[in-house]
Amino acid sequence: MELTFAITGASGTVYAQRTLQLLAASGVVETVNLIMSPTAATVAQVEAGANLKDADAGKINAWLGLPDDSKFIRFWRLDNFAAKPSSGSYKQAGMLIVPCSMGTIGAIASGAGTNLIHRAADVTLKEGRKLVLVPRETPYNSIHLENMLRLTHAGARILPASPGFYHRPKSIDDLVEHLCYRILDQFDIPHSKKTQWTGDEVTDD
């Protein structure tokens, strides 16, 4: 499987990092076409001290803990409209934007393809492929809600960064992984089942 993965400037860079690590370890995803907005690098620096400015595949591999020579990440510049993800004739399973800023959601909803993330998302929708958007914003205003509804009508899946608690998380990592597993579920990518609801009878232990 091949996917396009975009990281934008919303809070929640850790979701992008962990989802990419899980995709790399899945044994199902062979290649990720990665696109980053400049603000995503700024947020990564603020939230995690990660230096992703002027990123390339090598820097991303280090950030993800992948070998230096890993070919899992194929990195594309934001202004490269000749990149593979910009064309519907280039076959892949779909696209994820994790986290997805409201500015990006608005641009995609309006059809304003001003960069490769917007164009790749538009291509994903027009080709009828899966587009999963993970917004991390609260509260939503009516513009946010209307844009997300418009994208849902166009075929996108809106998966807010809202982790559950029924698996009794013990750490922030547990909460992050819960959401990342839900992201992987959208493409039927195998992962740990430890956060999956089992339907077991609730006990007091």
Residue 43 within any structural domain of the chain: yes
| Total number of domains constituting the chain | 1
Q: How confident is the model at residue 193 (pLDDT cuts 50, 70, 90)?
A: confident
Supply the CATH number for residue 9's domain. 3.40.50.1950
Residue 74: other Cβ atoms inside 10 A: 16
pLDDT above 90: percentage of residues in the chain: 81
14, pLDDT greater than 60: yes
Span of 52-56, 113-117, 122-126 with lowest mean pLDDT: 52-56
At residue 83, does pLDDT exceed 70? yes
Residue 204 pLDDT > 80, yes or no? no
Mean pLDDT for all residues in the chain: 93
Confidence of residue 192 (pLDDT cuts 50, 70, 90): confident
Q: How does DSSP assign 160-200, residue by residue?
A: -S----TT---SHHHHHHHHHHHHHHTTT-----TTS---P
- In Å, what is the CA distance from 34 to each residue of 56, 66, 142, 152, 174? 10, 15, 30, 23, 25
Residues paired with residue 74 on neighbouring β-strands, in sequence order = 33
Paired with 96 in beta bridges are 5, 132
**Range(s) of the domain holding residue 72:** 2-185
For residue 131, tell me if it sits in a domain: yes
Does 195 reside within a domain?
Answer: no
Report yes or no on 23 lying in a domain: yes
pLDDT at 201 over 60: no
Domain for residue 202, yes or no? Answer: no
Mean pLDDT, residues 189-204 taken together: 70
Is residue 203, in this structure, part of any structural domain at all? no
Q: What does pTM read for this prediction?
A: 0.93
Mean pLDDT of 133-141: 96
Nearest CA among 119, 58, 110, 42 for reference residue 87: 119
Region for 199 from its dihedrals, namely left if φ exceeds 0, alpha if ψ lies in -120 to 50, beta otherwise: left
Could you tell me the two tokens for 59?
């820097």
Establish if 12 belongs to a structural domain: yes
Is 199 within a domain? Answer: no
